[in-house]
Structure 1
Amino acid sequence: MPIDKTPVWRHQLTLVDREELNVDGVISLGSYDEKEVVMETEQGMMLVRGDGLNIKQLNLDQGNIIIDGIIKAISYEEAGQSKKGLLNRLLK
């Protein structure tokens, strides 16, 4: 029986004064710019929207990202939507 070597982290968010977001349980980083950061987490695709967003720290070995800037919205893609739909939206 093969052993799954994919690490499993607890998905957790810490938002400080809407200016610094620490996310645990990050699997991969999709796209990012100063208005939006897209990442895959243990709980699905997560979108962070705001102004002046900057990735302050990224450690995929530990499944952690720290984003600073003005955080305006945090949302998840619904499980029923396909990744292809998200990819098409990102490539527009």
Structure 2
Amino acid sequence: MSDDRLRTKNYPQHEVILRNRQNLEVNGVLNVESFDAQEFVLKTQYGFLAIRGENLHIKTLNLENGIVAIEGLIYDMGYFDEGMTAGEKAKGLFSKLFR
């Protein structure tokens, strides 16, 4: 999404709080698209948010209020737009790092 598109929409506040790479709190979540012990994909008002790590599990899930809390060792996280899978986004990122 371009910055202009984000500014023109009146989305509620969206925050991502990471503490010590082990506790992640996200608000403004619309849905949990997929999850396992290594990866979560959350749909937010600002696109999909992929969280990768080790021993990940849900601590709090309240989609009515748009809140998700995840515990575990977090390696990375990033946003991607609809139509692009988390794997495609990660592949693009890593290919740029190791050229």
TM-score (norm 1): 0.77
Q: What is residue 56 of structure 1 aligned with on the other side?
A: 59
Residue identity in the other structure for 1:14: I
List 4+ stretches of structure 1 deviating above 6 A: none
Please list every run of 5 or more consecutive structure 2 residues that lacks an aligned counterpart in the other structure: 1-10, 89-99
Query: 3-state SS of the aligned residue for 2:37?
Result: coil
Residues 13 and 24 of structure 1 are in contact (CA less than 8 Å); yes or no, is this contact kept in structure 2? yes
Q: What is residue 45 of structure 1 aligned with on the other side?
A: 48
Q: What is residue 70 of structure 1 aligned with on the other side?
A: 73
What is the rounded CA distance, in whole Å, between the counterparts of 1:30 and 1:9 in structure 2?
A: 20
Identity of aligned residues (%): 34
| Residues 1:29 and 2:29 aligned together | no
Please list every run of 5 or more consecutive structure 1 residues that lacks an aligned counterpart in the other structure: 1-7
What is the rounded CA distance, in whole Å, between the counterparts of 1:49 and 1:86 in structure 2?
A: 14
Residues 9 and 24 of structure 1 are in contact (CA less than 8 Å); yes or no, is this contact kept in structure 2? no
TM-score (norm 2): 0.72
Query: 3-state SS of the aligned residue for 2:24?
Result: strand
What is the rounded CA distance, in whole Å, between the counterparts of 1:11 and 1:43 in structure 2?
A: 8
What is the rounded CA distance, in whole Å, between the counterparts of 2:18 and 2:49 in structure 1?
A: 14
Q: Number of aligned pairs? A: 77
Q: 2:17 aligns with which of 14, 18, 23?
A: 14
The structure with the largest helix share of the pair is 2
